[in-house]
Structure 1
Amino acid sequence: MRVLGWMILAGATMLAVVPASAQRYDPRYPVCLQVWEWGGSNYMNCSFTSWGQCQATASGLSAMCLNNPYWSQARQPGRGDHGRGYAY
């Protein structure tokens, strides 16, 4: 009886596993729009260069603008990045 219980639990666990979804954030743009659709689904649109552009698109929709967590901002050279004055 114990074995049957463990088999049912293992089978239910395997059926409940959901495949992971791919990254939906375009790292070239700093602002994303998250849109909720009828039925509870949602999607991300990361193709905005400014908050104003995103907010204009979100106007009238069930949506909100977010910072893109994968935005690869160009690195600004700092004071220590100028290198040495000599070659090896």
Structure 2
Amino acid sequence: MLLVAGLPGVALLATAPARAQTYDPRYPVCIEIYTIDGSSIDCSFTSIAQCAATASGQSAQCYANPYALRSRPPGPGPSPPRRNR
């Protein structure tokens, strides 16, 4: 009986990571395509223009990948050494 009660919880835990893995952090742009059966997300685009070309003629939208790895702008260079007077 306990085994049967625990199965729905296990099924829920097994499907949770799938949504997070939808967003490939290597690509900054995603598309969500809407169909009569639901929607699907594809994060394999390098630009909004590339995504828009795929979305053209479909019920879809392009957006920034919320999990994309962001390159940090370079900080200020090293400061010159201090001189003692």
Give the structure-1-normalised TM-score.
0.65
Moved >3 Å (runs of 4+): 81-85
Change (3 A) 1:70 1:82: farther
| Aligned partner (choices 52, 55, 58) of residue 55 of structure 1 | 52
State how far apart, in whole Å, the 1-side matches of 2:79 and 2:25 are: 28
Question: How does 1:34-45 map onto structure 2 within 5 Å?
Answer: 34-39=32-37, 41-45=38-42
Distance 1:84 1:71, change over 3 A: farther
Structure 1 residues 76 and 42 mapped into 2: Cα distance closer, same or farther (>3 Å)? same
Structure 2 partner of 1:29? 27
Aligned-residue offset at 1:26: 0.5
Q: Any unmatched runs of 5+ in structure 1? A: 1-10
Aligned counterpart, 2:70: 73
The whole-number CA distance in structure 1 between the counterparts of 2:69 and 2:45 is 14
Q: 1:28 to 1:83 in 2, by over 3 A?
A: farther
CA distance in 2, matches of 1:58, 1:50: 12
In structure 2, runs of 5+ residues without a counterpart are none
Cα root mean square deviation, aligned: 2.3
Provide the identity percentage.
Answer: 46
d(CA) in 1 for partners of 2:80 and 2:41? Answer: 44
